[in-house]
Amino acid sequence: MDDPRRARRNETRNLGIREKVAFLRSPAAYPEGVQRVDVEETHMSWVFLAGDEVYKLKKPVKYPFLDFSTLEGREADCRLELDLNRRLAPEIYLGVVPLALTDVGELALDGGGEPVDWLVKMRRLPADKMLDKAILSGSVTEQALRSLATVLSDFYRNAEVAAISPLDYVAHFAREHAENRKFLIGEFDLPQQQANAVCERMELFLNDEPQLLMTRAQNGRIVDGHGDLRPEHVCLTDPPVIIDCLEFNKGLRLVDPFDELCFLGMECERLGSPEIGPTLIELCGEQLGNEPSDRLLAFYTTYRACLRARLSLAHLLEPDGREPAKWLPLARAYLELAERASLKLLPQARRRSTRLRDSGG
């Protein structure tokens, strides 16, 4: 006679992401006392906010830059995410826990049985202190930015220096710009005159001034950084903590600290606070002592805005893309930021004539 428990276990082993998400949506899946579970979906994960804790389940997806298609791959990435994020948020990242199949064929979080998936467990941060929310509420203070600059400067000062040659560093930007151009020019409904102008300015810089990039690599300024330094990943507690580093591809974390700061500043400007980026760059420059030139900062900002525009548009190519109405307007907003920053890449005489033309003078 068939054992019903064995049949249940075999059935549950084959559960897909939908069934796992359905289980984790329930307050009953978590320790006693959780009354509500808020659920957020990202490009590569499901996030469950349960009481004072957060659990992140990775989607079983595979892209050219990551592979979460196997249970072993997802576990390894969870453990790497834990280790890397403890560099900037040691008390927030609590551990890696199994989603297990019990002897009676039921799912259990962080319990005994056979693991059928893995989750990163975190302490929940106060939503109103996240930098994106603080910008929108007008509650970002000078002291908070000084504290954030100190945390970031200490992190970059102690980060592993990347073994990347000056030529390879320049080649990285050339490759990525070529990919950005494919998205910005032609295929999507973007202002093409604006997109062409931005791309041409980037190409002039890469062709005529690669030494500005090469010098950063020659001087050991490229480090294993955060990789995804956005306002929604910064919490202005005392001291500030930064979460959600880009763990799945080390190559994408190898950055000039001021490239990351330009990225953060550009995103803050998009949210309505253009002063935050220059403030952090100045404060970190004082502490690190190696702030690059204004032209290189303009290049980094333009590059990051173009990359974010490209990533926004890439969502439109996915068959099951989330929020399709969101991405084209967002790409246009990033292109506007790129165009504004790229003006600083023009020679001074051309910059003056461009401003006169745009103002109707």
**pLDDT per 10-residue tile (average), the chain, 361 residues:** 47 75 96 91 94 96 89 97 97 97 89 92 97 98 98 98 97 97 93 97 97 97 98 97 95 96 98 98 95 95 98 86 83 98 80 47 44
Do 252 and 317 sit in the same domain of this protein? yes
Do 245 and 120 sit in the same domain of this protein? no
Domain range for 37 is 4-124
Do 100 and 137 sit in the same domain of this protein? no
CA distance 44 to 127: 21
CA distance 353 to 332: 24
CA distance 306 to 190: 12
Residue 9 tokens, joined:
């276990």
DSSP β-ladder status, 53-58 and 66-67 = unpaired
Do 144 and 275 sit in the same domain of this protein? yes
Do 280 and 138 sit in the same domain of this protein? yes
Do 32 and 170 sit in the same domain of this protein? no
CA distance between the termini of the chain: 89
Do 116 and 160 sit in the same domain of this protein? no
Give residue 244's region: left, alpha or beta (phi > 0; psi -120 to 50). Answer: left
Model confidence, pTM? 0.89
Angle among Cα 149, 230, 238 to the nearest 5 degrees reads 40
- Residue 170 contacts residue 206 (beta carbons within 8 Å): yes
Do 72 and 200 sit in the same domain of this protein? no
